[in-house]
Amino acid sequence: MTVEMLTHNRVQLALHHLREGEGRALLLLHGLGERSPEAVPDFAADWPGPVYALDFTGHGRSDVPAGGGYSAEILLADADVALGRLGEATVVGRGLGAYVALLLAGARPAQVRGAVLCDGPGLWGGPSGPTSSTFVVLPDSRQTPDPYALFELARDLRPRDYATLFVRLALQGSGLDEPINVSAVVRPTWLEAVLDEVGVASAPLDEALAVYARV
């Protein structure tokens, strides 16, 4: 495994190159409070192309910004930097990474050749509508996972119509019949809304990857 540091504004992001391969890359996005694996997971053993994994801001080997300020859109921008490095990729997201994978598929439909959404920490997120804001001051440890990331991202809003908008963008711009696959067993309200959309499949992770490998 090798690690390449990518720059997102003033933050250095760790992109882990887990394995070489021929063809399109597989990009793994971890859950809330987690970090990238140090070896290729079993579910990706048959993927023909190279396998990469990204540490989000405040996680793993990536930088920890002072004072928090985390949102799903910040992590989307992290993933977009990694995608810019890879060119095209199929994306597997776990927990919070599943939500980010959905956003990335809608934001960059021509580059994301399938997004698979899996169970993991941070899948639920926060409420689906506005709530009163909460102000906290947490220890500035500069170690990962950042306490601010754990606190803020666990409460990040997940509106149903926002999630479904990104499904529609992915379907419109990808040219794929089913650019999103839900492999998660746990299905919060935003994910149930995603499953009701045209262009969303529901299959086990290994089956979804086999389909996207042929795209």
* Predicted confidence (pLDDT) per residue in 174-208, tens digit: 999 999 999 999 999 999 999 999 999 999 999 99
Instruction: Return the pLDDT at 137.
Output: 57
- Over the range 26-56, which residues count as b (16 or more CB within 10 Å of their CB) and which as e? bbbbbbbbbbbeeebbebbeebebbbbbbbb
**How many separate domains does the chain show?**
1
pLDDT category, 132, cuts 50, 70, 90? very low
pLDDT category, 129, cuts 50, 70, 90? low
112: closest CA among 76, 147, 160, 75?
Answer: 76
Instruction: Report the SS3 class of residue 167.
Output: helix
101: closest CA among 19, 212, 12?
Answer: 212
Tens digits of residue pLDDT in 42-69:
999 999 999 999 999 999 999 999 888 9
Share of the chain above pLDDT 70, in %: 93
d(CA 144, CA 118): 23
Q: What is the CATH number of the domain that holds 97?
A: 3.40.50.1820
Which domain, by its residues, includes 57?
A: 2-213
Sheet containing 112-118, strands listed edge to edge, beginning at the edge strand earlier in sequence: 2-8, 11-19, 51-54, 25-29, 89-94, 112-118, 180-182, 200-201
Greatest Cα pair distance in the chain: 49
pLDDT category, 162, cuts 50, 70, 90? very high
Encoded amino acid at 17, one letter: H
Q: Which residues pair with 14 in a beta bridge?
A: 5
Instruction: Return the pLDDT at 202.
Output: 98
d(CA 172, CA 195): 16
Q: Residues 183, 205: contact at Cβ < 8 Å?
A: yes
pLDDT category, 134, cuts 50, 70, 90? low
